[in-house]
A and B are shown apart, each in its own frame.
Chain A
C-alpha cells in the first residue's frame, strides 16, 4: 500500500511542476505583463510600508512651505497647505488599494454565488437573477456609484466606506454574468452528472465542484476589475466623493492640483500618472493571467 501510494505521488509530481512552469513561461512572455507586475508589487510595498517610506507626515501642514516646486527637500513639491506631495502620493496608494481590494471582495461574495445559482438551476431562478443583473447593468458604473454614494452619505457613513459600498454594488453584475456563463458550460460536464448520480446535494455540487472549476476566469475578472474599481474610485474622489480630508486620495489630489494647472503641473500630474499606471498594471497583469490560465477566455474577458 505504502509503496503504491508513493508511486502515484512520484508520477504526479513532474506534471504539477511543468504546469507551473508553463504558467510562468506564458505569463512572463510579454514584457508588458512583467512591467505591470513590477508596478503592482512596488505599489503594494508603498501601501503597506507607507509610514516608513513617506519622507514626511502626509497630514502635517507646512505654513512656510506652500506650493513649493520640486526640489531635493520635497521631491514632488508641496501643495497649497504645505503638505509634501510625495508623502501624500504614497499614502494615496493605501486608499486606492484598500477601496479596490475590499470592493472586489464584497462584490465577489455577492455576485459569484448569484451567478452560480442562476446558471445551475436555470428556469425561473435564472430569469429573476439575470434580469435583475441586466437592470443593474443599465446604470453606468460611475452613475450608480454617485447615486448610491449620495444616499449612503446621508447615513453619516465614513467617506471611504460610502465609496466601497457604492462601487461593490456597481460591479456585482459583472461577476454574476461571468460566473453564470462559466457555470452553464461546467454543469454539462460528466463529473457533474456523476456527482448528481451519487446523490450529492445541489449545494455540494455548486460550491465544491462547479465553483472551483470556475476560478480561472474569476481570477482574471477580479484582476481587471481591480483596475476598473481604482479608476472609478479616482473619478469619484475627483468629483469630491470619497475619503474625508485630510486623507489622501489620488483623484482628489488631481482635482486640488488642477487649480494650479500651469504654475504647478506636478501637483496634478503626479497623482494622475499614479492612477493611470496602476490601472494599466492591473489590466496588463489581468491579460497575462488570462493567457496563462486559459487562453480560450480571449474575447470573453
Chain B
C-alpha cells in the first residue's frame, strides 16, 4: 500500500507541475504584450508612454526570461500571492477569500446530496428491479444526466419561485448571518449542481448492486437465513459502494464546472460568477487564479479517490 501511495503521489506531483505550466502558458497565449495580463485593456496601454510600460514590465518581472517568470509566478503562489485584480483593484488572494465561501457551501452540499441520495436511489432501484419504483428512478437518471443545469435552474425558479412562491429566486446569504433564509436560498442551486451526481451515482449504484447480487457470498448470506435488511445493508451495500467512489472525482469536476452557470442563473456572488465576469472584463489575473485553484482541487480529489479506492480494493494496488 505504501509503495502505491508513494507512486501515486509522485504521479500527482508531475501532473501538478504540468497543470501550472498549462495555466501559465495559456495566459501567455494572449496576443500582444503579456503586460496586458497585469495592467489593463489594450486601449489603456496604447495611451501609456513607453517608459511607463518598461517600468511596469520591470515591476512584474516581465523583462526576465520566460522560465524565470514562470518560477517567480509559482513561488508567488506558494506564498499566497496571486497578484492584483485589475477590475477590483484588490489582492486576488483576498478576493478569493470573499468569493469562495458561497461556492464551497453550495458545492459541498451538492456533493453530499448527490452522493447520499444517488446511492439510496440506485440501491432502491436495484433491490426493486423491474418494479414500479425502478421504472421511475431509472428513466429519471437519464434525464438527470442530460438536462442542461441552466435550464433546470430556470425551470425551478419558474415553478417554485415565481408560480408557487415558496423559495427566493436568487441571491445568497451566509448561513452564519441568517440560517433560515440561507437554507431557503441554497435549496435550488444545490439541487441543480447535485443533479448530475445524483443521476450518475444512482446508475452506477444500481448496476454494481445488480452485479453484487449475483455473487456467492450474497447467496450464502440469504441461505444463512439473514433478514433482507441485513443482507442489503451489510453485505450488498458495502461491496457495491466501491465502484461508486470513483465517481466522486467526476462529480467534483462537474460541480465546479456547473458553478459558472448556476451562480449566473441564481445571482450568487461566488467564484463561478467572478470567473465569468472576469473573463468579460479581461481581468486575467483573476481568471488565472481561479483556473489554477479549480484544477488543483480536482487533482487533489482524484488523488484521494485513487488512494481510497486502492485501500478498499487491493487488486488496484498491483494494477
Which A residues are closer than 8 A to B by beta carbons?
32, 131-132, 134-143, 146-151, 154-155, 227, 231, 234-235, 238-241, 251, 254-255, 258, 261-262, 265, 268, 272-273, 275-276, 279-280, 283-284, 298-299
Q: Which parts of B229-255 form the interface with A (CB within 8 Å)? A: 243, 253-254
Q: How far is the CA of A262 from the CA of B147 in the complex (A)?
A: 21
In the complex, which of the residues B148, B243, B279 contacts A234, with contact meaning CB atoms closer than 8 Å? B148
Q: Which of chain B's residues have a CB closer than 8 A to the CB of A155?
A: 31
Q: Which of chain A's residues have a CB closer than 8 A to the CB of B285?
A: none
Chain B binding surface SS class: helix
Q: How far is the CB of A12 from chain B (nearest CB, A)?
A: 37
Determine if B142 and A283 form an interchain contact, defined as CB atoms under 8 angstroms apart. yes
Query: How does the 8 Å CB contact mask read for B260-277 relative to A, with 1 for contact and 0 for none?
Result: 110011000000000110
Q: How far is the CB of A25 from chain B (nearest CB, A)?
A: 21
13 pairs, A vs B, C-beta closer than 8 Å: A32-B139, A131-B11, A131-B15, A134-B18, A138-B298, A139-B22, A140-B298, A143-B295, A148-B26, A254-B154, A275-B148, A283-B146, A284-B142
Q: How far is the CB of B75 from chain A (nearest CB, A)?
A: 20
5 closest A-B pairs by CB = A140-B257, A135-B18, A272-B151, A142-B257, A138-B295
Determine if B150 and A238 form an interchain contact, defined as CB atoms under 8 angstroms apart. yes
Q: Which of chain B's residues have a CB closer than 8 A to the CB of A265?
A: 158
Determine if A272 and B148 form an interchain contact, defined as CB atoms under 8 angstroms apart. yes
Q: How far is the CB of A291 from chain B (nearest CB, A)?
A: 13
Q: Which of chain A's residues have a CB closer than 8 A to the CB of B21?
A: 135
Chain A binding surface SS class: helix
Known contacts A147-B287, A262-B162, A265-B158; 14 additional CB pairs below 8 A are A131-B15, A134-B11, A138-B19, A139-B291, A140-B254, A141-B257, A142-B260, A146-B260, A146-B275, A151-B29, A155-B31, A235-B148, A261-B157, A272-B154
Q: How far is the CB of A188 from chain B (nearest CB, A)?
A: 15
Q: How far is the CA of A284 from the CA of B261 in the complex (A)?
A: 25
Q: Which of chain B's residues have a CB closer than 8 A to the CB of A147?
A: 26, 279, 287, 291
Q: Which of chain A's residues have a CB closer than 8 A to the CB of B29?
A: 151
Q: How far is the CB of B268 from chain A (nearest CB, A)?
A: 14
Q: How far is the CA of A155 from the CA of B42 in the complex (A)?
A: 13
Q: How far is the CA of A38 from the CA of B262 in the complex (A)?
A: 31
Determine if A143 and B261 form an interchain contact, defined as CB atoms under 8 angstroms apart. no
Q: Which of chain B's residues have a CB closer than 8 A to the CB of A148?
A: 26
Q: Which of A137, A148, A155, A268 has the most CB of B within 10 A?
A: A137
Q: Which of chain A's residues have a CB closer than 8 A to the CB of B287?
A: 147, 150
Determine if A138 and B256 form an interchain contact, defined as CB atoms under 8 angstroms apart. no
Q: How far is the CA of A273 from the CA of B254 in the complex (A)?
A: 21
Q: Which of chain A's residues have a CB closer than 8 A to the CB of B19?
A: 135, 138
* Closest residue on chain A to residue B294 by CB atoms: A143
Is B14's CB within 8 Å of the partner chain A?
A: yes
Q: How far is the CA of A147 from the CA of B27 in the complex (A)?
A: 9
Is B183's CB within 8 Å of the partner chain A?
A: no
Q: How far is the CA of A279 from the CA of B152 in the complex (A)?
A: 14
Q: How far is the CB of A227 from chain B (nearest CB, A)?
A: 7
Is B104's CB within 8 Å of the partner chain A?
A: no
Q: How far is the CA of A139 from the CA of B18 in the complex (A)?
A: 12
Determine if B142 and A154 form an interchain contact, defined as CB atoms under 8 angstroms apart. no
Q: Which of chain A's residues have a CB closer than 8 A to the CB of B253?
A: 140
Query: How does the 8 Å CB contact mask read for B152-177 relative to A, with 1 for contact and 0 for none?
Result: 00110110001100000000000000
In the complex, which of the residues A235, A262, A280 contacts B261, with contact meaning CB atoms closer than 8 Å? A235
Q: How far is the CB of A180 from chain B (nearest CB, A)?
A: 14
Determine if A268 and B142 form an interchain contact, defined as CB atoms under 8 angstroms apart. no
Q: Which of chain B's residues have a CB closer than 8 A to the CB of A234?
A: 148, 150
Q: How far is the CB of A252 from chain B (nearest CB, A)?
A: 11
In the complex, which of the residues A138, A154, A268, A299 contacts B299, with contact meaning CB atoms closer than 8 Å? A138
Q: How far is the CA of A227 from the CA of B145 in the complex (A)?
A: 10
Q: How far is the CB of B157 from chain A (nearest CB, A)?
A: 7
Q: How far is the CA of A139 from the CA of B21 in the complex (A)?
A: 13
In the complex, which of the residues A131, A143, A280, A298 contacts B260, with contact meaning CB atoms closer than 8 Å? A143
Q: How far is the CA of A231 from the CA of B151 in the complex (A)?
A: 11
Given A231-B146, A240-B280, A276-B146, A139:B151 Cβ within 8 A: no
Q: How far is the CA of A241 from the CA of B264 in the complex (A)?
A: 14
Q: How far is the CB of B233 from chain A (nearest CB, A)?
A: 24
Q: Which of chain B's residues have a CB closer than 8 A to the CB of A268?
A: 151, 154
Given A151-B30, A280-B142, A283-B142, A140:B158 Cβ within 8 A: no
Q: How far is the CB of A100 from chain B (nearest CB, A)?
A: 14
Determine if A32 and B148 form an interchain contact, defined as CB atoms under 8 angstroms apart. no
Determine if A280 and B143 form an interchain contact, defined as CB atoms under 8 angstroms apart. yes
In the complex, which of the residues B145, B256, B261 contacts A283, with contact meaning CB atoms closer than 8 Å? B145
Q: How far is the CA of A148 from the CA of B260 in the complex (A)?
A: 15
Q: Which of chain B's residues have a CB closer than 8 A to the CB of A261?
A: 154, 157-158, 162
In the complex, which of the residues A134, A141, A235 contacts B15, with contact meaning CB atoms closer than 8 Å? A134
Determine if B294 and A146 form an interchain contact, defined as CB atoms under 8 angstroms apart. no
Q: How far is the CB of A186 from chain B (nearest CB, A)?
A: 18
* Closest residue on chain B to residue A146 by CB atoms: B279
